[in-house]
Structure 1
Amino acid sequence: MSKLDNLQAALESVLGGQIVSLKRELGEITITVAAKDSLNVAKLLRDHSELRFEQLIDLCGVDYSSYKDGAHEGPRFAAVSHLLSVNKNWRLRLKVFAPDDDFPSVPALTPIWNAANWFEREAFDMFGIIFEGHEDLRRILTDYGFIGHPLRKDFPTTGHVEMRYDAEQKRVVYQPVTIEPREITPRVIREENYGGL
C-alpha cells in the first residue's frame, strides 16, 4: 500500500460519512465536507491518532461562479485549507462550501488551528466569506471604507471608487472611478519569415 492509500484508508475510517467527496488527483487527496460538519472534521483531522494534521499551511477563498466556464454546479463560494501532518508526513486539502451564495458563511478554523486567523480575514476581505466564530473578522488588505470584495468574479475590474489626496482639504477623499473603460487590442505581427522559419 502506498502512503496515499494509507491516508485515504485512515480518512475513510475516521471520518466515514462526514466526507461528501474524496478526490485523488496529481498525488494529492482533497476531501469536501459540509459546512455543518467542518468543525468536527477539523478536530478529528488534528487530534485523531491515525491522522494527526497538526498544521494548517494555507487557507483561501474560492469563487466557483465561472469555474471551468460554468461547468461547476453547486454552491458558489468555498474555503479551501491545506493541512500538514508532520508526524505522519502527509498532506491534505480540505474543502468546505458555504451553503448560501447570498450570505456565504462557514465555521472558522481559528479555534482548531490559530494559523487560520489572517487567512480567514483575507478570504473575508477578498471574497466576503463570513467565518463564524472568528474573534476578529475584519478587512486585512483593503482600505477601511472599501466597498465590495475584489476577488469575486462579478467585481468590476476598475472597482467602484478611487481615493486620492486632496491638497485643499488636506485629507484623502473618495470619488467615483475616473478611468474611462477602453478596449485594448494587441497588435499582431504577421511576417512570412518571422522566427527564422
Structure 2
Amino acid sequence: MTSVAVRPEAVRDAIALTLGDAARDVHVLLGEVIAVVPAARYHEAMKLLRDAPVCRFEQLVDLCGMDHSTYGDVGAEGARYSVVSHLLSVSLNQRVRVKVFCPDDDFPVVDSVTDLWKSAEWYEREAFDLFGVVFDGHGDLRRILTDYGFIGHPFRKDFPLSGHVEMRYDADQRRVIYEPVTIEPREVTPRIIREDKYGGLH
C-alpha cells in the first residue's frame, strides 16, 4: 500500500503548529517546506520534529553548512553561517528543510543533533571540516575530508581557490611533504566571441 503525498501547505501548517515559537518562520518555497529556527531553540525544535505525532521525521537525510558572506551583494544581510538539514518522514511521506543561523560569525556554533539521528555524525563532521561550524555535543568532531594537518576551511568563500599549501611525495625523504603554494592565484573568466550571423542567426 503506497502512502499519499501530502500537500506542502498542510505540512507547513502542521510544523508551524508543532514548533510554535521555537520557529522563526515556516513557509513553502518552490514546493518545499522550509522551517527557520533560532540557534537557542535548534535542538528542541529538531526533537519536536522527530517526535511529534503530526511530524514524525524519523530520518535525517542530509545536513550541510552554508556561507552567506556574499549575500550582501544581492541585498540580503544577516549571520554569515547557517546549517541546513533535510528531514524525511517515511511513515507520513513528507519532508522539511530546517535552517539555523550561527549567532557568532567569528566562532560559528550550533547544537549537535547526533543524539537524535546517528546519521548526523558524519554530516556534522563534514560541515565542521569544510565550513568551520562547531557542533556542541558532538562526540568526535574532527576533520573527515581534508588531511589532519589541513589549515582553514575550504568551502568558506574567502578561502583561496589554490589553497595555502601543496603536497608532493619526496623520493629522497620517502614521505609526503607540504610546501607553500607555488602557483599564482588567478581568476579565469571565459570570453565568448560570436560572429555576426553566428550559426545562421541574425
Q: TM over 0.5, yes or no?
A: yes
Give the aligned residue type for 1:15. L
* Equivalent in the alignment of 2:33: 29
Question: Is there any run of 5+ residues in structure 2 with no aligned partner, and where?
Answer: 1-5
In structure 2, C-alpha distance between the alignment counterparts of 1:105 and 1:187, rounded to whole Å: 41
1:107-129 residue CA offsets vs partner (Å, 9 max, x unmatched): 01111111111111110000000
Give the aligned residue type for 2:122. W
* TM-score with structure 1 setting the length: 0.94
Structural mapping, 1:9-88, within 5 Å:
9-67=13-71, 69-88=73-92
Q: 1:185 to 1:123 in 2, by over 3 A?
A: closer
User: Is 1:35–1:97's contact at 8 Å kept on the other side of the alignment?
Assistant: yes
Matched-pair identity in %: 59
* Equivalent in the alignment of 1:157: 161
1:57-100 residue CA offsets vs partner (Å, 9 max, x unmatched): 10010001112625221111011000011111110000011110
Q: 1:90 to 1:143 in 2, by over 3 A?
A: same
In structure 2, C-alpha distance between the alignment counterparts of 1:124 and 1:156, rounded to whole Å: 18
* TM-score with structure 2 setting the length: 0.91
1:105-159 residue CA offsets vs partner (Å, 9 max, x unmatched): 0001111111111111110000000011111111011011100000001101111
Note the aligned Cα RMSD (angstroms): 1.5
Give the superposition deviation at 1:183: 5.1
SS in structure 2 opposite 1:165?
strand
Q: 1:103 to 1:187 in 2, by over 3 A?
A: closer
| Deviant stretches of 4+, over 6 Å | none
Aligned length: 196
In structure 1, C-alpha distance between the alignment counterparts of 2:188 and 2:25, rounded to whole Å: 42
User: Is 2:9–2:28's contact at 8 Å kept on the other side of the alignment?
Assistant: no
1:29-70 residue CA offsets vs partner (Å, 9 max, x unmatched): 111111111111111100111110001010010001112625
